[in-house]
Structure 1
Amino acid sequence: MVNVSIARRYARALLDVSSEAGRIDAVAEQLSAFADIVAKNPELADVLHNPAYSRTQRAQVVEGVMKLIPQMEAVLANTLRLLVDRNRLSYVPDIARVFRDMADARAGRVRGSVTSAATLSADSLAQLKQTLQKMTQREVILETRVDPSLLGGVSAQVGSILYDGSLRTQLDGMRRELKQH
């Protein structure tokens, strides 16, 4: 069971320190990169999370992974070393997610995802992003996905709000309406 309050405390502390240095976005990017490296390598994750390995062994592995990230921010390197010392490495993915959310909130950004039946052109994506920014009054960072089952149209989720203009949803709505009559 993951304790989100622990992840939030570390993320908030890291945000405060990286804010003083003016390096929030760089730290967010590097922390996500570190979490991705660990997530994509099961053997590495095992060393970092398995209590059978000593703290020294985990520290050596963390130092090795940090070398894979070019010009790692000192505040992040110190935080990762602290997580090793306190046996909190298992919280890195949650800390990365919470940190990114806090950094986005501080910068007035919101993340969203767009799902379409086919790959969107750069112009269509830019227009959609601009429309979502007007609706949310915030900078929108979009992740795109393709789902052929939508048949046509676009479905966008920004924060907790879903904007569904997919053909599949429209057809389902028509089907429900026809069944009622």
Structure 2
Amino acid sequence: MSNQAVANRYAVALFQLAQSKGTLDQTGEELEVIQSVLQGTPELEKTIQHPKVTLVAKQNVIRNSFAGKVSQDVLNTLLLLLERQRFSIVPELSQAYKQLHHDLLNIAEATVYSAKPLTNEELKQVEIIFAPKAEKSRLIATNKVDTELIGGLRVRIGDRIYDGSIKGQLNRLERNLLAGNR
């Protein structure tokens, strides 16, 4: 079974547990904190993945690192992943949990590519305009600068791309001219 499939199973179980306890937001935030800690401290991940470190020592490292900072349910999930030698799926689990939460709230994430950085107000405007197009009640947009666009915007929501950039228009014009269309 792929790591993504395993992560999805753990995410669904943790999501259902958090939903029953009314801690959906808190659990999501805790998973994001854990993921950022793991990314920020590669030594921690090396220790956890090292084959010569015993399971008990690994569990103590996790307890010392996260006890009191995350809920008991999240801590138990981490310890279970350690025990089953699946700790490497924590980033996928966090992402799968986030997707489940967004699906429940009818939220989508978008990446907005622009030739220059957008202001917060411009980003909010994009969120308002594109939320109905994505058939979502809310859109969470992040801006990435791509100077090759020349001008305009390219918005990616899931697997959909809305390209209103000058580069995109020039590419479409070139294809039409090569195809003999006007």
Match of 1:96 among 94, 97, 105: 94
Letter in 2 for 1:22: G
Give the structure 2 partner of residue 84 of structure 1: 82
SS at match of 2:112: strand
Aligned length: 179
Q: Which moved more, 1:58-67 or 1:160-169?
A: 58-67
* Cα offset, 1:76, TM superposition: 0.9
Q: Give the match for residue 56 of structure 1.
A: 56
Distance in 2 separating the partners of 1:149 and 1:72: 42
Please say if residues 7 and 91 of structure 1, whose CA atoms lie closer than 8 Å, have aligned partners that are also in contact: yes
Alignment partner of 1:94: what SS? Answer: helix
Q: List structure 1 segments (4+ residues) > 6 angstroms apart after TM superposition.
A: none
Q: Which digits, 9 at most, give the CA deviation of each residue in 1:14-54, with x for residues without a partner?
A: 00111111111221121122122212322211111222211
Contact 1:2 1:91 in 2 (8 A): no
| 2:103 partner amino acid | A
Task: Indicate the residue corresponding to 2:177 in structure 1.
Answer: 178
Match of residue 39 from structure 1: 39
Residues of 1 paired with 2:100 and 2:64: CA distance? 28
Which runs of structure 2 are paired with 1:32-181 in the superposition (5 Å)? 32-66=32-66, 71-138=69-136, 139-181=138-180
SS at match of 2:85: coil
Q: Please give the TM-score of this superposition, normalised by the length of structure 1.
A: 0.90
Shift of 1:166: 1.0
- What TM-score comes out, normalization by structure 2 length? 0.90
The 2-side partners of 1:4 and 1:175 are apart by 39
5+ long unaligned stretches in structure 2: none
Identity %: 27
Q: Which residue is 2:10 aligned to?
A: 10
CA distance in 2, matches of 1:84, 1:49: 9
RMSD of equivalent CA atoms: 1.8
Worse-superposed segment, 104-113 or 39-48: 39-48
Secondary structure, in 3 states, of the residue corresponding to 2:80?
helix
